[in-house]
A and B are shown apart, each in its own frame.
Chain A
Amino acid sequence: MPKSYRDGLPISPDKFVDQLMRLKRGSISRRDFLGLTGLGVATAVMARELGIMPTPAFAAESLGDRMSIATWPNYHDPQTFENFKADTGVAVEVNVFGSNEEMLAKLQAGGSGWSLFVPTNYTISTYKKLGIIEALDMAKLGNFDGKSEDARFTAEGTIDGTTYAVPKNWGTTGFAVNTKKLAKPMSSWKEFWDTAMAEGDGRTMVHDYQLTTIGNALKYYGYSFNSLKQDELAKAEELLLKVKPHLFAVSSDYQPGMRAGDAWMTMCWTNDGAQLHRDIPEIAYVLGKEGGEIWTDFYAIPKDAPNKPAGYALLNYLMNPKVAVKEHLANGAPSTDARVNALLPKEVLDNPILYPAADLLKPLEFGAAATLTDPGRAELMARFKSA
């Protein structure tokens, strides 16, 4: 017998509306209505799992049976989506991306099919300008608590008082070193680039991402990570072209190379650094003392999301501190939410990879929207890659 998507549903949409009309007319009681439509069970499950009663709007909407999310590699606890499916019946398809531009390109082209995605701070204003993300209906996000968020990380999600994105986690961009292969202690971007051309020859990876690769090359000279100045970029290009023949790879997928021991040093985001260090203790995570990048990843909903109710439901689910804490333990990135920090074990909060010392954080810069969309930097990256 052919399987229909309706098979898994407790009640058909037509019947649901029938029953709802009966309830409105008063011909059945509220309890009968909940029982007949299956909402009673659903509500009970949700209330238990989410720790709150769902908002009425949430309960009345059909969530469908599938949705898709666009996110980053190694970024979630797979169990989170399994649990969400068990609670709501909505299967989550996970699409993994390598860069914000790629996500932006897919959304610009339309029909991405995502009901939730994970943009980084500096892209949100561009999404808003292009009119491709939803102004979030905060009433549907009962689990989000703005007061418990660290404003330093969350500010870019709100534009002119309207919230377009809520934070997932923050992090930094440093570099990971296999200290067994490269024993010399390092603490700066200058050392990173110099080592790449010496002891780390043929074993160093940089991101396939202009924002960080050019930004961290600018740091060699102490320029701003976001610089758009011609002369500063020219210096960065000179360095990049000099380093290019010594590189192992230009790729943002650096975990396999580092784990296999093919690469000894790589540009690295906090969460990957924490994961690599957790599994292979000799891999250290270093923040350049000249500075570099600090970032926040957000959750946002595309305007053309095919299943907005499920997008909101999953987002609200992920905002539950009890769920979020598991995400942080799995992906290793620090949380923006005081409620989540309160639930994290002490050794996580004391981990300097996740929560670096204040003097290391101070010189870090948030990436700017103009840095990402600058055509000059894009062409510089193309010249670097084709050199």
Chain B
Amino acid sequence: MSETGDKPDQDNATGGRKSAGSQPAFPMRGSLFRKNLMTALLLAPAALWLVVFLVLPFVAIAIFSVGERAPEGGYQAALTFAQYANLPARATAFWNTMLLAPVGALACLLVAYPVAYYLALRAPQRWRLILLALIVIPFWTSLLMRTYAWMYILGGRGIPALLAYVGIEDLRLINTPGAVLLGIVYGYLPLMILPIYVSLERLDRRLLEASADLGATPLSTFLGVTLRLSLPGVMTGFSLVMILLLGEYLIPTLLGGGKVFFIGNALVDLFLQSRNWPFGSAIAITLVLVSVVVLIVANRISTRLSGARRVDLI
């Protein structure tokens, strides 16, 4: 079985190295200079966008992070690494976040996979689009609104009030770790479902038949074929949700009662409450670096698990 021959489009999904060399040649018109100019012009809008919205803010934050807090709060120019040395003062927040992000992403994954599986492989074709739309539509409402809705559902006049009818009194759901986890799964589910759905949808059904014909049980077919081929989607969804969770502060505040302190909450407080912008900037820079590391690791794992064999073939 030649996997590369059957499914050339998978290269894109996994960032396979083979596709890089097989780009169609740019049609030669005029000189090489003109071609380069054309490329530069085509890239300019994207580059400008990146510079204005990514590089410049990042540079500003980096400059802030080596400064000092002004006496009345805010920033005053300096060149010191004191803010970075002070990072242990927010160790608990970092630790909580490092726990929340993978656990939250895993909980999301456990709920999202069966949904994506059903959508891609089991749902009737004519329903598929409607079901997908139903998953995406709530995303059009702000996360804040949806989280507030959960505040009322879990609050004393919501589910606990209904449970009081059957004799369960004074049950508290809101401001518990369970409520935070629920909010996270609810809020980030579409981001997990969609990439998994895409990778499952492209799954070549003949592979499943072949696996069954060769005597594999449904379970080992799922583990050896379906799950394995959908891993790029799983890793995409996982790293997407995890990176967003690294900066999450709204859900712990609203559904956790602000009692559990994540790095996002530390940032909000440092910028908006104690107005220690340099320290906040140092934390923000650290958070960005951590996110990059997470991305690289996730990418490595994903390549190793699903793409290693193909890379070896080349």
Contacts and interface: CB of A to CB of B under 8 A. Distances in A.
Contacts of A244: 259
Interface string B82-101: 00000001101100100000
B155 interface: yes
Interface string A87-110: 000000000000101101110100
Contact of B257 (A105, A129, A250): A250
A373 B72 contact: yes
A104 B276 CA distance: 12
Given A129-B72, A260-B155, A386 B175 contact: no
Nearest to B269: A382
B90 A386 contact: yes
A171 B77 CA distance: 39
A344 B96 CA distance: 51
Given A105-B73, A129-B72, A261-B156, A247 B276 contact: no
B155 A386 contact: no
A186 to B, nearest CB: 20
A378 B73 CA distance: 11
A126 B72 contact: yes
Interface string B221-247: 000000000000000000000000000
A385 interface: yes
Which of A248, A251, A379, A386 neighbours the largest number of chain B CB atoms within 10 Å of its CB? A386
Contacts, number: 99
Interface string A345-387: 0000000000000000000000000000101001101110111
Which of B69, B96, B152, B174 neighbours the largest number of chain A CB atoms within 10 Å of its CB? B174
B143 to A, nearest CB: 17
A249 B259 contact: yes
A210 interface: yes
Which of A102, A129, A248, A250 neighbours the largest number of chain B CB atoms within 10 Å of its CB? A250
B257 A378 contact: no
B89 to A, nearest CB: 7
Contacts of A247: 257, 259
Interface of A: 99, 101-102, 104-106, 108, 126, 129-130, 202-203, 205, 208, 210, 244, 247-251, 256-257, 260-262, 373, 375, 378-379, 381-383, 385-387
Interface of B: 69, 71-74, 89-90, 92-93, 96, 151-152, 155-157, 160, 172, 174-175, 253, 257-259, 261, 265-266, 269-276
6 A-B pairs with the lowest CB-CB distances in the bound complex, closest first: A249-B257, A378-B274, A260-B156, A386-B261, A261-B156, A386-B92
Given A108-B73, A381-B269, 4 more contacts: A247-B257, A256-B155, A260-B157, A382-B90
30 contacts: A99-B272, A101-B275, A104-B73, A104-B275, A105-B73, A105-B271, A105-B272, A106-B272, A108-B73, A108-B275, A129-B72, A130-B72, A203-B172, A205-B257, A208-B258, A210-B273, A248-B257, A251-B257, A251-B258, A262-B156, A373-B71, A378-B273, A378-B274, A382-B261, A382-B269, A385-B269, A386-B92, A386-B96, A386-B261, A387-B92
